[in-house]
A and B are shown apart, each in its own frame.
Chain A
Amino acid sequence: MSLAQISRLSVTQLVLRSQSHHLLSSVYPLIISKRTVIQEPYRRPGQPKENKFPWEKINFDLSKGLKGIKKNFALLKKEFVERWVGPEGKPIIEHMLEQNRVVWEFRGAESLEEWTVSSDREIGGQSEAYVKLGRNNNTCLLYGTLRSTPPRDGETRYSGYCTMRSKQQLASFDRKKHFDWTSFNTLHLRVRGDGRPWMINISCETFFAHQKDDIYNYFLYTRGGPYWQDVKLPFSKFFLTHRGRIQDDQHCLWLDKVNTIGFTLGDKVDGPFQLEIDFIGVCKDYAHTEEFAYEVYKRNPEV
C-alpha cells in the first residue's frame, strides 16, 4: 500500500470510534515499495500467482452449456414479457406511485441463495460466519464467532470480520442487472441484533475499472434484546470508501445502478454474534431532504 493510501482513515476502525478496543496485536513497519496493482484481486501473501490464460478458466462442458441455454432463454423470455406489462414487470401507474419496496425478504430456503457469507477465513483469519433461516422460516439469521487474531503471514496486520453480501443479480446471458432506487431516498431494515455495531455496504455500478472496489458505507447500530428494530438509513448519509479506506473526494450515492448490499461486522470484540434480518426495503421519506451529508464543495481535508 502506498503512503497516500495508508494515511486515509480505515472504515472498520471508524465503526468503533466511540468503542473500546483490543490491543493491536502487532505494529510492524510497512513496506513502502510494495505496490498493489489496483486491478488485481486479493491474493494471500506468499500465494503464487495463477499462471493461466483467461480462456483456460472457462468451463467448456456440454451439459453446462445446455443448462445455460435453458436458463438464459427463460430469462430472456421473461425480460421480453415483462416489458409489455411495464417497467420492471409492474404496471406503469404502480411503478410511478411506488412509495416503498421490499427488496429482500427471507421467506423460505431459496431466499438465502441470493446471499454469500464470508469471513476473514479467506485471508487466513479464524472468524466463522454462517447464515440460516430463523426458527419460523421467516427471517434470516446470521451468526458465528468473531476472532480478531491476525494471520501469521508477516504482512497482514489487522483481521477479524464477518460479512454477508447479496449476490450480483444477473439477467439473461450473464449480463449484470441493477436495482434502480432513484425514486427512494431511505433504506429501511427490520433487524434484531445483539448490541454489536454493523456496517452496511452498498456497491454501485461504476464506469472505470479502478472504481470497482468503491463502496458506500454507513453504520447500523443494534439495540439488542428480544424486540425487533426498524432502522431507517437515508442514502444521503452513505460515504464513499475504497478498499476499506475513506476517500477524500466524497460523492453522493447514485441510486440508479445499485449492484449489491452487504453487512459487515468488524468491531474487534472476540466472541459470538448474531443478527436477524426480517426484510430489507427502500422507501421514500418526505421529511428527509438532505442530498449529501458530507461536504462536496472542497476536498476533505483541504490539501
Chain B
Amino acid sequence: IGTLAIKHITLLLSVKELRHFHHSRAVLKIRPTAPVEFIEDKEKNKKPIVQDDLFERVAKKNKTKATFNRVVDVFTKQDVRRRGHVEFIYAALKKMPEFGVERDVTVYNKLLDVFPKEVFIPRNFIQTMFNHYPRQQECGVQLLEQMENYGVMPNVETKVLLLQIFGPKGHPMRKYQRLMYWFPKFKHVNPYPVPLQLPEDPVDLAKFSLNRIADDLDAKITVYQMPCTDLNESGQEITFPHIVGIQSPSQIDLLAKHNPKRPVFVEGPFPLWLKKICVYYYILRADPIPPEEKVEEPYDPERCFDYPLQLDLDLDRDLGDEENFDVEDLDEGPVFAMCMTNHGDQATLNQWISGLQETNPILGHIPTLFRLDSGTRELQVSVDFKPGPNQEHQESKPETEERTAEEVEEQPQIRHSMKQ
C-alpha cells in the first residue's frame, strides 16, 4: 500500500508539474518586476487573474495615464506567452475612457504591443486567404475601430506594430490603411469648424458662438454685463449673469428704419450645439414688413466709386440662363440683434435691450415684447401667430403694451443698480 501511495503521490506531482508547464502557473508567481500594489492581492486570490480585476484594483487609487501604462506593463511582464492577451486588450479598451487615455495614440500603440509578435503572421497563401487567427485579428480590428471612434489618427509606430503582429495582409493592416486614406480626406471638411478645446469662460464661449451664428465679419460684440457677485444693502448675495450681445452695422441700419408703431420681439432661447456643448441664444426681431409698407431705397451711385454696385444692362437673357430656384422666398422678418446670457429671464433681457439703446436710440420708442419660451425650442415665425392656451406671455395686445410700458419705467432703476 505504501509503495502505491508513493506512486500515486509522484503521479499527482507529475500531473501538477505538467499542468504548471502547460498553464504556466509557475510564471504567475510573484516576480520582483511587479510593483508592490499588485503583489499582495495576487497572494490573496490564487485563481487566475481576471483582467478586469487588474484594472479595477488600480482604479480604486487613481486613474491616470501612468497607472494605465503600469497595468499594461505588469501584464506584459507577467507571462512570456502573454496568455489571455485578447481578453486583456478588450478589457483595456473598455477601461480607456475611465482613465482618460482614449485619445492617446501612444497608449493604443502600447496596447497593440501586448500582442505577441510574428506568431499570427500567415506563412503561406492559403493561410492568407482564410482568416488566420480570427480572434486575434478581430481584437486588433476592434482596437483600431475604437481609435476611429475617438478620431485618433494612427501613426507609423502603429503600422510597424501591425506589420510585426499580423503581417502586411491581415485585416487590421487593411483597417489601418483605410483609416489612413479616409481620415485626412475629411479632416477639414467642416466649413464651420469648432476648436477641439472650447473656451471655459462663459463670456468667451458666448463671444465665440455669437460670432459663429452672426455670419458677419462687421458685426460687433458688446459685453453688456460681466458675471459678478455683489452684496446688496441687506447683506444678501446677488449674482449678475453675463450678457453678451452682437449687432452688425447693417442690423443697426435696419432697426433705425423700423416703423416705431410695430413692436419688436425678444425671442428665445434657441439652442446652438458646439460639439457636445449646447448653448442658448436670444434674438431681437420683428415681424416681416407688410408689402404696402415696403419702401424701395433709391440707389445711391456715390456709395462706391471703385466699381458700380448695380448694372442695368439690357442683355438678352435666354431661357437657359435662369439661375434662381423657383421657390417663393421665405420672409420671416428681420433679425436686429442676438445675445447670450446664462439667465434668460425678462429682467436680464431687459438689461440687454437697455444696453442696445445706446447704439439704437429708436428702441426707446418701439414697444418690446418678450416671447420667452421654455417648452418648445424652435424658431418662431409669426405670420399668422395665434395665441396658445398655455403660454402666458401671449396676452391680448393692450395688456402687453402696458407691461412693456412698465418695463421701460423699470429700466433706469436696473441701470442704477448696475452702476452701484
Which positions in A face B, CB cutoff 8 Å?
Answer: 3-4, 6-10, 13-14, 16-24, 26-30, 32, 93-94, 96-100, 102, 105, 134-136, 138-139, 141, 143, 188, 192, 194-197, 219, 221-228, 246, 248, 269, 271-274, 276, 278-279, 281, 283, 294, 300-303
**In angstroms, how far is the closest chain A Cβ from the Cβ of B85?**
13
A32 in contact with B186 given A141-B378, A195-B274 (CB within 8 Å): no
User: Of all chain A residues, which has the CB nearest B191?
Assistant: A221
Asked if A300 contacts B178 (CB within 8 A), the reply is yes
**In angstroms, how far is the closest chain A Cβ from the Cβ of B154?**
12
Asked if A135 contacts B171 (CB within 8 A), the reply is no
What are 8 pairs between A and B in contact, CB < 8 Å?
A7-B171, A18-B190, A29-B142, A97-B320, A102-B325, A139-B330, A194-B271, A302-B177
Asked if B319 contacts A94 (CB within 8 A), the reply is yes
Asked if A10 contacts B175 (CB within 8 A), the reply is no
**Cross-interface CB contact of A102 among B98, B215, B276, B327, cutoff 8 Å:** B327
A93 in contact with B330 given A13-B148, A269-B273, A271-B278 (CB within 8 Å): no
A281 in contact with B325 given A7-B171, A10-B148 (CB within 8 Å): yes
Q: How many residues of B contact A (CB 8 A)?
A: 84
Asked if A283 contacts B134 (CB within 8 A), the reply is no
Residues of A within 8 A of B321 (CB): 99
Asked if A17 contacts B383 (CB within 8 A), the reply is no
Of B8-16, B39-47, B89-97, B308-316, the one contacting chain A is B89-97
Asked if A196 contacts B384 (CB within 8 A), the reply is no
Which positions in B face A, CB cutoff 8 Å?
Answer: 86, 90, 93-94, 97-98, 102, 131, 134-135, 137-139, 141-142, 144-146, 148-151, 169, 171-172, 174-175, 177-183, 185-187, 189-194, 196, 209, 212-215, 270-276, 278, 281, 283, 285, 318-328, 330, 332, 335, 338, 377-385
Asked if B178 contacts A223 (CB within 8 A), the reply is no
C-alpha gap A19/B374 in the complex (Å): 28
C-alpha gap A285/B355 in the complex (Å): 45
C-alpha gap A8/B182 in the complex (Å): 11
User: Of all chain A residues, which has the CB nearest B322?
Assistant: A99
Besides the contacts A9-B182, A20-B275, what 6 more A-B pairs have beta carbons closer than 8 Å? A7-B171, A10-B148, A27-B142, A32-B138, A273-B273, A300-B181
**In angstroms, how far is the closest chain B Cβ from the Cβ of A3?**
5
Residues of A within 8 A of B90 (CB): 27-29
**Cross-interface CB contact of B185 among A29, A98, A271, A294, cutoff 8 Å:** A294
**In angstroms, how far is the closest chain A Cβ from the Cβ of B184?**
10
C-alpha gap A228/B330 in the complex (Å): 9
Asked if B146 contacts A29 (CB within 8 A), the reply is no
Pairs A-B, 3 closest by C-beta atoms: A225-B213, A301-B177, A23-B97
Residues of A within 8 A of B98 (CB): 23
Residues of A within 8 A of B281 (CB): 225
Asked if A274 contacts B377 (CB within 8 A), the reply is yes
Asked if B273 contacts A224 (CB within 8 A), the reply is yes
Asked if A226 contacts B381 (CB within 8 A), the reply is no
Residues of B within 8 A of A227 (CB): 213, 215, 335
Residues of A within 8 A of B271 (CB): 194, 272, 274
**In angstroms, how far is the closest chain A Cβ from the Cβ of B195?**
10
Asked if A269 contacts B275 (CB within 8 A), the reply is yes
C-alpha gap A135/B274 in the complex (Å): 25
Asked if A17 contacts B137 (CB within 8 A), the reply is no
C-alpha gap A105/B380 in the complex (Å): 20
**Cross-interface CB contact of B215 among A7, A9, A219, A223, cutoff 8 Å:** A223
**In angstroms, how far is the closest chain A Cβ from the Cβ of B62?**
18
Asked if A283 contacts B325 (CB within 8 A), the reply is yes
**Cross-interface CB contact of A24 among B97, B131, B187, B324, cutoff 8 Å:** B97
Residues of B within 8 A of A97 (CB): 318-320
Residues of A within 8 A of B276 (CB): 20, 22, 269
Residues of A within 8 A of B330 (CB): 136, 138-139, 228, 278
A17 in contact with B319 given A224-B213, A269-B273 (CB within 8 Å): no
A134 in contact with B381 given A97-B320, A225-B215, A226-B285 (CB within 8 Å): yes
Asked if B379 contacts A226 (CB within 8 A), the reply is yes
**In angstroms, how far is the closest chain A Cβ from the Cβ of B409?**
30
Asked if A24 contacts B146 (CB within 8 A), the reply is yes
C-alpha gap A269/B139 in the complex (Å): 27
Asked if A32 contacts B131 (CB within 8 A), the reply is yes
C-alpha gap A105/B327 in the complex (Å): 8
Residues of A within 8 A of B323 (CB): 99-100, 283
User: Of all chain A residues, which has the CB nearest B198?
Assistant: A20
**Cross-interface CB contact of A18 among B172, B187, B274, B378, cutoff 8 Å:** B187
A278 in contact with B335 given A14-B182, A21-B149 (CB within 8 Å): no
C-alpha gap A93/B322 in the complex (Å): 13
C-alpha gap A141/B318 in the complex (Å): 36
User: Of all chain B residues, which has the CB nearest A105?
Assistant: B327
C-alpha gap A294/B184 in the complex (Å): 12
Asked if A135 contacts B381 (CB within 8 A), the reply is yes
**In angstroms, how far is the closest chain B Cβ from the Cβ of A192?**
7
Asked if A136 contacts B137 (CB within 8 A), the reply is no
C-alpha gap A59/B140 in the complex (Å): 49
**In angstroms, how far is the closest chain A Cβ from the Cβ of B102?**
7
